[in-house]
């Protein structure tokens, strides 16, 4: 039966060889160890002896061909018995074909410790809770008691509650999932990964989408949100805008509603500094600067350029700064300094028709303001029906930092500012 002659490993780090000259041709008889072919490599040139006795059946490479070590270069018709030893003789069962002389099977030294540690831990689980230093810290940060931890489903070694198990629990809790944490996993849920129906399409996440997703999830996970809404009569502002439509164009960009929102917010933030703050474990950091971020919708998603020191600018100044920021945002020309350092954010879903929103607080801030659509409504004034442009002003806030009373004070401050707006403010 024919056996393959393989190009031998002629030296350490040699991976290929070139057929220089065949010393036998098909039909020729070759004895065991008789020279069969001349091979050149970049280290050594050799005359390769045939490992078998037999008749050359076929040459699988031509003179001048380069072949990888271990590839078949010829077939020899042998007496059956001698066939077995060929390829197997060269390589030890576990050895790498490309390894050099003296290199035996390379075993990696797997530490047996993790298995042992896990095994040792299992009995401990039965008698007590096994929590890593990290999980303990997270539990503290999220106000999760040991009693609750004990009920959590652990997927780690020996049933240990891992970081992932813990975070999953916290996410479920913030989302208002009812029932005990243990059953949450078993409850009905949206089709998870891997469960797609015919016609479903997977849209891969862009970096900006991924970033937004991560920030939103983090915010909801970590910040206990609460909400306040107030109704604002925008007549005074609307009237001023109408009156100044022509003249303000001449002086520069006309203040948009957004400019008014920023001006009013800056004023209210000055009066109620706790709304311009950050939560930390050590305490609430009340920010000195009032840097207002404006949520802007762009192609991919959302971007929040920051108008710095909004309390130091006049309405006109704010209008100009906003104009510049928004233009650059739409053109994709914002720099890193334009999007960092925000202490408060305003979002304007009103432009899309929303009359009541509950936006998500940006991590590191205390609150986010939503200005919904200004809609003409019938309202009661002096016990008579009047038509007024009404806007709902909503504040989503971090309930750790302040409570509903302050939220309403803040919103009322802005309401008063809008409703008492006069020239020169």
Q: What is the binding site for another protein (CB under 8 A)? A: 6-12, 33, 43-51, 85, 89-90, 92-94, 100-102, 104-105, 107, 111, 113-114, 116-117, 120-121, 124, 130, 132-133
Q: How far is the CB of 8 from another protein (least distance, A)?
A: 2
CA–CA dist 71, 92 (Å, integer): 17
In the bound state with another protein, the residue whose beta carbon lies nearer, of 44 and 213, is 44
Q: How far is the CB of 352 from another protein (least distance, A)?
A: 52
Q: How far is the CB of 92 from another protein (least distance, A)?
A: 5
In the bound state with another protein, the residue whose beta carbon lies nearer, of 43 and 376, is 43
DSSP secondary structure letter of residue 283:
E
91 a catalytic residue? no
Q: How far is the CB of 54 from another protein (least distance, A)?
A: 14
Secondary-structure percent of the chain, ordered helix, strand, coil, rounded to 5: 35, 25, 40
Q: How far is the CB of 117 from another protein (least distance, A)?
A: 6
In the bound state with another protein, the residue whose beta carbon lies nearer, of 111 and 247, is 111
CA–CA dist 425, 421 (Å, integer): 7
403 a catalytic residue? yes
Which of these, 158, 178, 179, 175, lies nearest to 167 by C-alpha position? 175
The CB density around residue 406, as the number of other CB atoms within 10 Å, is 18
In the bound state with another protein, the residue whose beta carbon lies nearer, of 130 and 392, is 130
H/E stretch holding 166 reads helix 163-174
The one catalytic residue among 96, 399, 413, 423? 399
CA–CA dist 352, 369 (Å, integer): 16
CA–CA dist 19, 64 (Å, integer): 5
Residues 263 and 240: beta-carbon distance below 8 Å: no
Q: Is 228 left (phi over 0), alpha (psi -120 to 50) or beta?
A: beta
DSSP secondary structure letter of residue 289:
S
- What is the distance in angstroms between the CA of the first residue and the CA of the last residue of the chain? 102
| Bridge partners, 230 (sequence order) | 393
CA–CA dist 35, 21 (Å, integer): 11
Q: How far is the CB of 259 from another protein (least distance, A)?
A: 53
Q: How far is the CB of 9 from another protein (least distance, A)?
A: 6
DSSP secondary structure letter of residue 359:
P
The one catalytic residue among 309, 403, 413, 423? 403
Q: How far is the CB of 101 from another protein (least distance, A)?
A: 3
In the bound state with another protein, the residue whose beta carbon lies nearer, of 76 and 307, is 76
CA–CA dist 243, 227 (Å, integer): 35
Residues 222 and 214: beta-carbon distance below 8 Å: no
DSSP secondary structure letter of residue 256:
P
In the bound state with another protein, the residue whose beta carbon lies nearer, of 9 and 219, is 9
In the bound state with another protein, the residue whose beta carbon lies nearer, of 126 and 385, is 126
Alpha-carbon distances, residue 123 vs 8, 87, 109, 111 (angstroms): 55, 50, 27, 21
Structure tokens at 111: 């530490």
DSSP secondary structure letter of residue 1:
-
In the bound state with another protein, the residue whose beta carbon lies nearer, of 23 and 408, is 23
Active site residues: 399, 403
């Amino acid at each position: 039966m024919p056996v393959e002659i393989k190009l031998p490993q002629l030296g350490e780090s040699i991976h290929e060889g070139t057929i220089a000259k065949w010393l036998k041709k098909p039909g020729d008889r070759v004895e065991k160890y008789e020279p069969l072919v001349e091979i050149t490599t970049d280290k050594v040139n050799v005359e390769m002896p045939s490992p078998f006795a037999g008749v050359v059946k076929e040459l699988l490479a031509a003179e001048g061909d380069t072949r990888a070590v271990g590839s078949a270069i010829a077939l020899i018709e042998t007496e059956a018995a001698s066939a077995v030893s060929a390829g197997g003789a060269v390589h030890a069962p576990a050895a790498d074909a490309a390894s050099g002389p003296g290199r035996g099977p390379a075993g990696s030294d797997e530490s047996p410790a993790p298995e042992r540690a896990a095994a040792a831990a299992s009995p401990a689980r039965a008698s007590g809770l096994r929590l890593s230093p990290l999980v303990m810290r997270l539990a503290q940060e999220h106000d999760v008691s040991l009693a609750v931890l004990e009920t959590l489903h652990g997927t780690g070694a020996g049933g240990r509650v891992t970081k992932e198990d813990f975070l999953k629990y916290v996410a479920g809790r913030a989302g208002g999932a009812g029932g005990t944490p243990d059953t949450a996993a078993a409850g009905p849920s949206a089709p998870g990964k891997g469960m797609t129906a015919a016609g479903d399409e997977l849209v891969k996440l862009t970096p900006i989408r991924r970033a937004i997703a991560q920030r939103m999830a983090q915010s909801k996970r970590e910040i206990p949100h609460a909400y306040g809404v107030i109704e604002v009569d925008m007549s005074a502002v609307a009237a001023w805008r109408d009156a100044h439509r022509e003249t303000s164009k001449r002086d520069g960009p006309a203040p948009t509603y957004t400019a008014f929102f920023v001006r009013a917010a800056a004023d209210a933030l000055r009066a109620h500094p706790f709304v311009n703050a950050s939560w930390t474990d050590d305490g609430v950091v009340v920010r000195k600067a009032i840097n207002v971020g404006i949520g802007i919708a762009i192609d991919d998603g959302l971007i929040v350029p920051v108008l710095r020191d909004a309390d130091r600018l006049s309405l006109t100044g704010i209008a100009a700064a906003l104009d510049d920021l928004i233009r650059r945002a739409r053109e994709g020309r914002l720099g890193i300094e334009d999007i960092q350092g925000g202490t408060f954010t305003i979002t304007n879903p009103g432009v899309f028709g929303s009359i009541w929103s509950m936006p998500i607080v940006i991590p590191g801030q205390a609150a986010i303001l939503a200005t919904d659509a200004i809609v003409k409504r019938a309202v009661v004034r002096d016990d008579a029906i009047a038509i007024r442009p009404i806007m709902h002003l909503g504040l989503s806030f971090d309930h750790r930092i302040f409570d509903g009373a302050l939220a309403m004070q803040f919103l009322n401050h802005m309401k008063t500012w809008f409703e008492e707006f006069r020239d020169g403010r």
